[in-house]
Structure 1
């Protein structure tokens, strides 16, 4: 299985009563695929899964499963424990699980690799490892990521190292047999230039088609177009991530009339109006710029 192209990690919209707005979620999923996304991610961190009840999580998953089944689109589901992975065994639509590197305990590289190796061995679906050290507290070197690439059952890496560093260069200099999907929205263009196979990008709720074009441009070797579009999308992503994800994205989607409220659940707080306004201005500027 090869994971390429754009995957949109769906937010969880809420209605005015505070309940999950399942109709709005379905509309977002359908629109992302209509606009060219290769697949969807359900219950990723962008979807605020830790603030959802078990019933709400199943309702969200049911909607996205149905959309992906009808559209024949790949579905990746956030699952970080053996128990949550086992729950995916009855869902034929699930292509892979997005599994974050263990957080807070900082087990060291060897411990992280051993943990993910065990999960992969016991999982009914392949794993896409989510490496995001500035949130987990556990850094993985290029050598550790290469060891994970050799583990049966690990088929992809969502790479969000917080920028481009020496290990990034080392990893991409000799790509392992692993689908690498950029996960740092602001840096997706340089990661694609280095050889990333695609991206899992929350920013792609907004201007999905432009992110698809960016990935296609780099893969086609159209450097001039990719550089221009990548720079403009980078500014949009920076504005959308000016506050904790997905607060600004929800504010923009609400302003566009695509979700019933901009609400998030604690411990997140709603984005400041200034951040939402700045992001809307950035998006409007992107969409108003003629394509190269």
Structure 2
């Protein structure tokens, strides 16, 4: 498996019911997914952190994955978020994702437990050995309290089932260390929208994006330009500059609060599940402006 380009970490729309009992809005979710396919998104992540995986029941998790696999029909890869705080539970969830038809597992570093680097090597090798899916490593220290270091990644890249890393740290030095590990069997993906263009111009294979839920066509254009290298670098940087206000808005409150506020204004679902709450009223005007800007950007011809 070679993952590249514009990859969307899908949000999970809910109904307008209360935050403790709102159902998944499968109609809105399917419209979101089909818009991704129509706009050229090159892979999707179902039930990652943007998809509020921790708020989903087992039945909901499987229903989302099975529907995604059915709708996508092998046109693009379907990644399942399967990372948990315990290795055995992560293996179990990865096997369930495989049974639902997922193409790969996005496995975040174990949240909260703060394993050592040796523990991370053992964890990922066990998941890759026994989880029945190709594994995408996912490093996001701000959420997990654990940093997957490049030297640790280097100890994992030769495993035949470990195929990529999503790196959410934004420092160019971190990305440079990871890019040295790229190979025909191991790809490097940005997990940070604001710095993804810089990463791709430096050689990264693509981005797993939050903003692409709302701007799928723009993100596909951006990735195509940035991955073309220096011959399109100026165009990529110009488009990136136009998209920065969108990226910035996605960080005004914890993900996925801002993106779900945007999607709700686009008519795609409502609400979040506690402990996540609706976008603060202080950011409502900014959300309206961003939605208007997104409409202009997405209307541009490819």
Runs of 4+ in 1 over 6 A off after TM superposition: 289-292
TM-score by length of 2: 0.89
TM-score by length of 1: 0.92
After superposition, what is the alpha-carbon deviation per residue over 1:215-262, rounded to whole angstroms, capped at 9, x for unaligned? 100122301110011122222111022111111111111112222x2x
Shift of 1:101: 1.0
1:137-152 matched pairs, under 5 angstroms: 137-152=145-160
Shift of 1:165: 4.4
Q: Which residue of 54, 57, 72 corresponds with 1:53?
A: 57
Query: 2:76: which partner in 1?
Result: 73
User: Which structure 1 segments of 5+ residues have no match?
Assistant: none
Query: 2:273: which partner in 1?
Result: 265
User: Are 2:8 and 2:209, in contact at CA under 8 Å, matched by a contact in 1?
Assistant: yes
CA distance in 1, matches of 2:200, 2:207: 8
CA distance in 2, matches of 1:122, 1:191: 32
1:38 equivalenced with 2:46 (yes/no): no
CA distance in 2, matches of 1:178, 1:104: 27
CA distance in 1, matches of 2:294, 2:68: 28
1:1-292 matched pairs, under 5 angstroms: 1-17=1-17, 18-69=22-73, 72-80=75-83, 81-92=90-101, 94-161=102-169, 163-173=170-180, 175-176=182-183, 177-221=185-229, 222-259=232-269, 261=270, 263-285=271-293, 287-288=295-296
User: Are 1:232 and 1:286, in contact at CA under 8 Å, matched by a contact in 2?
Assistant: no
CA distance in 2, matches of 1:224, 1:240: 24
User: Which structure 2 segments of 5+ residues have no match?
Assistant: 84-89
CA distance in 2, matches of 1:135, 1:89: 25
SS in 1 for 2:254: coil
